[in-house]
Structure 1
Amino acid sequence: MARATGKSEAVYERLRSDIESLRLRPGAKLSEVHLGEELGASRTPVREAIRRLAREGLVDFVPGEVARVAAISLGGVRALFEFRMLLEPRAAASVATAGAADERLLVPFRELLERLEEFDESFRALDAAAQARSYQEFYEVTEGFDQAVIAACRNPYLARTIRDLRSETVRLRHLSHSGPRRMLTSMEEHRAMLKAIVQGDAQAAEAAGRHHLAQTLQALIDSLTGQDVAIGADVHLDVARR
């Protein structure tokens, strides 16, 4: 039983990574048989992993069909960001306040700010092709920032809710950073958030967090509506069905 549980966890981590990175595109079919063959697993751990991903909103069960990677819709993206704007700027503000009272909390944010400055300098010196290859390093910095805020947030309910949304928000990251120009503006937004937290400025941290989410939402809307998808009340990006 322990071996099956371990295998299920490995399958889950692999599928979640493939979905979040868009290697498994929205709408892609998830056949237990084919995935089992590809991942070297029996159907049971594959089924358990798919059900777990469905609970997280990354997989849909379509009646009469196999499971599919959940589609991305404008309506869903807007709803998600409306919720995030209630949570994440408030968390950033609380971290800035806590850091002003206990500077030990600021250590990871100072390190991230230094790393961001170094990355920014090297990124601007690259040509376009090299910039495209360096996106993963920036994702690591932004993920580090998000995780640092969750870890330092003194409200456990707020931190848990933000953490529970991570699977959905990570998948959208690859759409929002759709080019070097957005990458550069996102760097400026993260620099503003980090500086505000390090300086203990809760008001500035909250404002910078809200601005970043608003800009990211607009980048996502531009990305979704620019992929040969007709604009409507609830436009879906469902590449595998097209």
Structure 2
Amino acid sequence: MVRATGKSAAVYERLKADIESLRLRPGAKLSEVQLGEELGASRTPVREAIRRLAGEGLVDFVPGEVARVATISLGGVRALFEFRMLLEPEAAASVTRAGAADERVLVPFRELLTRLEEFDATFSTLDTAEQTRSYQEFYDISESFDQAVIAACRNPYLARTIRDLRGQTARLRRISHSGPRRMLTSLEEHRAMLRAIVQGDAPAAEAAGRHHLAQTQNALIESLTSQDLTTGAEFQVDIAG
């Protein structure tokens, strides 16, 4: 049940989390009546939450029609990553330069590098089932890295634009890290980015960020194509464009 106070915000947070985690699959119908019953909310806060999510590109909403979780197109993925490659490597370089001028900027990145090293050491000792269950910890580390870059970026327009894309990138991360092989290569990519930032090497941080995005895009397209073939209509993937 959603609390009576701040109901619209609570419904929004719940739906956004369900979309990002893929509990609500691309193409899934969003019935205001059904969601209201499940969340203990009237139709008004549910409708407001859906409209807000539509503004972020996570929901396809047409007044008078049934809203749906936004589908994922390969053309859309390519366009998103083309845009991200213009933004995020530069943000990583900006943070690195800021850290070289002020050691305090580097504190969260040093902590994340330590967390990543500890996770890597533990992950290799787990069996397959335990490794799968530990994915969430890596998601948390990679999300913390992205948030640390946003927080430390000295260009507020750049930081805000990257932040506004977080809803789109969060659910794609779940798809791209669909197996241990990709997760481990992503771990190495994050290690390279963190080390470059901590060592004050802005060109290396920028290059590592660009490499990570390129590899993530490739893994994502491969995963989307595979899931489209194996799960049929349940996971709607628009391959146009």
TM-score, normalised relative to structure 2: 0.93
CA shift for structure 1 position 239: 2.8
Which residues of structure 2 form unaligned runs of 5+? Answer: none
Per the alignment, residue 54 of structure 2 pairs with 54
Provide the C-alpha distance between the structure 2 equivalents of 1:124 and 1:111, rounded to a whole number of angstroms.
21
- 1:239 pairs, out of 231, 234, 238, with 234
Q: 1:180-216, CA deviations, whole angstroms, 9 ceiling, x for partnerless residues?
A: 1011100000000000000010000000000000000
How many residues are treated as equivalent by the alignment?
Answer: 234
Q: Which amino acid aligns with 1:34?
A: Q
Q: Which amino acid aligns with 2:35?
A: L
Distance 1:240 1:47 in 2: 24
Instruction: Give the share of equivalent positions with the same residue, in percent.
Output: 82
Aligned residue identity for 2:15: L
Q: Distance in 1 between matches of 2:7 and 2:102?
A: 42
What are the within-5 Å matches in structure 2 for residues 111-122 of structure 1? 111-122=111-122
Q: Is the 2:51–2:61 contact (alpha carbons within 8 Å) kept by the matching residues of 1? A: no
Residues 13-52 of structure 1: CA distance to partner in whole angstroms, max 9, x if unpaired? 0000000000000000000000000000000000000000
| Aligned 8 A contact 1:92 1:149 in 2 | yes
- Computed over aligned residues only, the root mean square deviation of the Cα atoms, in angstroms, reads 1.8
Which runs of 4 or more aligned residues in structure 1 lie more than 3 Å from their structure 2 counterparts after TM superposition? Answer: 62-65
1:227 is displaced (CA, Å) by 1.8
In the superposition, the TM-score normalised over structure 1's length comes to 0.93
Partner residue of 1:193? 193
Q: Within 5 Å, give how 1:1-242 maps onto structure 2.
A: 6-61=6-61, 65-229=65-229, 239=234
Inter-partner Cα distance in structure 2 for 1:50 and 1:82 = 27
Deviations 1:53-90 (A, max 9, x none): 00000000257631000001100000000000000000
Whether contact under 8 Å (2:72, 2:236) holds in the other structure is: no
Rounded to whole Å, the distance in 1 between the matches of 2:120 and 2:235 is 35
Q: Look up the equivalent residue of 1:196 and give its one-letter code.
A: A
Kept in 2, the 8 Å contact 1:4–1:45? The answer is no
